[in-house]
Amino acid sequence: MATSFKTINSKDVVSTRNMLHEAIPITGAIISGTYGTFPDENNIKNFSHGMFQTVYDYPYLSSSANHIFDLAVGYANASELSSSANTQNAKKINMYNELAQVLVGFDESSNIRRFDEDGDLTGGTKINEAYFINFTRLLMKDEIKKGSFTLSLGVNQNYAGAMDSTLSITDKSGSTGFKVNSPAGEYGILYATGSATSPSGGVDGLGYAPAGLLYYQAGIAVITASVFGTILGTPVETTLNLVPMNGTLTGSSISGACDVFRHRINNIQFNNTTELNSTVYFCRANHNDFNYSSNPTYLSASKMVVKNNSTDSPVSYTTTVGLYSADNELLAVAKLSEPLKKDPSTEFTLRVRLDY
């Protein structure tokens, strides 16, 4: 341990912040079809509580399986679909309210705000019925990169040819038009465009139409259920049989409604973001600094073992840099790849970077 210290002043410290991005493709084959045929899909796990289902990239009993996202559906208590006669009605309302209070917050009267189509929380069209895709931290890291999200959905009315007509749902203006009025951080409006209009009055894919919300730091996509058609009374083939969309939301369990949605996902793609903060310390050893060592082997019989003659200059070999607190407590240690020779005729600057 060194017996002398050198103070690092503010001019010798620089803080930096970098964003690292990774492309995350999730194919529809992984989401439905690769590991079994409905209802025997080994990478889809449903729970006894029935609130959501979990999707893995491998059969979930495998040690190689990674949890990639959770899928749920819900509607507001103010929805026209809300009825005590519905299957899991209370749970669907609770799921909507749970996510709404986290992502949208409360109004002045302590009422839970509803998801808003354009982000204007005080007015505008509300998203009363929605699917929720909650991505894991394993995929999204610190956040989803703004402007990188794409969800491709098959919206053809025929189940066998569901992908003959597709909608591409993107946060096309996420990098510049994101909102900041959410307690969960920043979010963007999701817009739909595609090869054809969604059947029977659904979200029009021929232009750009609002289709949901994407919360970047929370890693949650809120997709309006009307993306497949108008909510009330519009027939859309959501399963093997022709079932009205409102029939799926009211007559199916949450896991059943999630199966309907999941089997029409063609592809999900986005870039994740890892925020890398660094502090760089420039440790400067001037010509008259650190020319001696406090290692006990540096001296023998009160003489420096590295000097052959008394007139020789003192010399030391730097192998480690220690960063200490103001009261001389060791906080961090940096090792050099090889020893650096130090004597009164040399000086150098060591760049020490701490990442966090």
List, as one string, the DSSP characters of 90-111. HHHHHHHHHHHHHHT-B-TTSP
Give residue-wise pLDDT tens across range 112-135.
999 999 888 887 889 999 999 999
Q: Domain ends where: 234, 249, 274?
A: 274
pLDDT value, residue 244: 60
Whether residues 64 and 151 fall in one domain = yes
pLDDT tier, 242 (very low <50, low <70, confident <90, very high otherwise): low
Whether residues 149 and 194 fall in one domain = yes
Q: Which residues pair with 352 in a beta bridge?
A: 281
The strand pair at 129-135 and 235-236 is best described as unpaired
Counting residues of the chain whose pLDDT is more than 90, the rounded percentage is: 56
**Mean pLDDT across the chain:** 85
Answer whether residue 1 shows pLDDT above 70. no
The strand pair at 185-194 and 243-244 is best described as unpaired
Whether residues 49 and 163 fall in one domain = yes
Answer whether residue 312 shows pLDDT above 80. no
Whether residues 101 and 250 fall in one domain = yes
3-state helix, strand, coil in the chain (%, to 5): 15, 40, 45
Whether residues 166 and 304 fall in one domain = no
Side chain identity at 5, as an amino acid letter? F
Inside any domain, residue 48 = yes
Give me the count of residues in the chain.
Answer: 356
Q: What's the structural domain count of the chain?
A: 2
Answer whether residue 240 shows pLDDT above 60. no
Structure tokens at 257: 């409604």
> How far apart are the C-alpha atoms of 2 and 147, rounded to whole Å?
51
Instruction: List, in order, residues 6 or more apart from 98 with CB less than 8 Å away.
Output: none
Side chain identity at 178, as an amino acid letter? F
Domain that holds residue 333: 286-355
Whether residues 63 and 138 fall in one domain = yes
Whether residues 211 and 329 fall in one domain = no
